[in-house]
Structure 1
């Protein structure tokens, strides 16, 4: 039986807090990601980073997208820390996040602790140039072509929110 597709980061474990460097409060750079075991027949990979807890985890109203990448070469096994298009494996295409940018946009939740899903998809094709696809556009283009999927979940809450929680009687 083949091993499942696995996605990890050397900077945080699944279910852990995302280090501040990878957030809007820090350097706002993409965390390093590594993966293994793409399924047989994988022709490309895609990555979507999303927050299903926007704007408030107690009353989520939408999924907020932080990054859209597609046509990651099937032989690639990582994205480096702070990856920009010029430091990513050749051939990768970048879609539009919900900040309106073609780049990674780090967590900066307005309230509460949010979950950030880094979702990696193994596809049975190389997608055509989709221009500047949104998360929704990419998901539609991938329909019927997903061979496998892996996810890594990171958590983040603004530092001043966490500090206020730690002090009895404090409010943020």
Structure 2
């Protein structure tokens, strides 16, 4: 059961003035953004993060999956290495496979000819009451299934991007 609390606060420079900062695009530095999470529920055990393109033509495109981040880590570093299934700096949190076939973060980067309008990218933070039993390298569908019944808070940041 998801009890979405309005007071979950996600602070990041991922987007500014509703635009994705170019550092976090594949055309820019292609690095994951730093995040600070505030007002976590007292029962929070772990965090999971999903970044997707809600405006992809066929279906939502996943750009980043990371889970089992201990909730005591409320400042998540930026530039988490790609192709690293376990992140030692985040107490062994797991990264999943994005829709480009890579492990880790892949920022927005479609060619301008494929964008008729800006795409909205949503960075979703899930607060869970327990760790997820899911091997690193899993995809979004597996992650969402594994989180069922464990989500106690949820919040997001969004930003638009058009090259």
Asked if these proteins are the same fold (TM beyond 0.5), I'd say yes
| CA distance, structure 2, for counterparts of residue 24 and residue 89 of structure 1 | 23
1:138 aligns with: 143
Aligned-residue CA RMSD (Å): 1.8
Residue 41 (structure 2) pairs with residue 44 (structure 1) = no
Q: 1:89 to 1:147 in 2, by over 3 A?
A: same
| Structure 1 residue 3 displacement after superposition | 6.9
| CA distance, structure 2, for counterparts of residue 71 and residue 27 of structure 1 | 25
| CA distance, structure 2, for counterparts of residue 25 and residue 119 of structure 1 | 22
| CA distance, structure 1, for counterparts of residue 145 and residue 91 of structure 2 | 24
Alignment gaps of 5+ in structure 2: none
* Counterpart among 74, 78, 81 of residue 81 in structure 1: 78
* Counterpart among 125, 146, 155 of residue 150 in structure 1: 155
| Structure 1 residue 4 displacement after superposition | 1.9
2:128 aligns with: 123
Alignment gaps of 5+ in structure 1: 56-60, 159-172
1:64 aligns with: 61
Kindly tell me the number of residue pairs found equivalent between the two proteins: 151
2:35 aligns with: 33
TM-score of the superposed pair, with normalisation by structure 1: 0.81
TM-score of the superposed pair, with normalisation by structure 2: 0.85
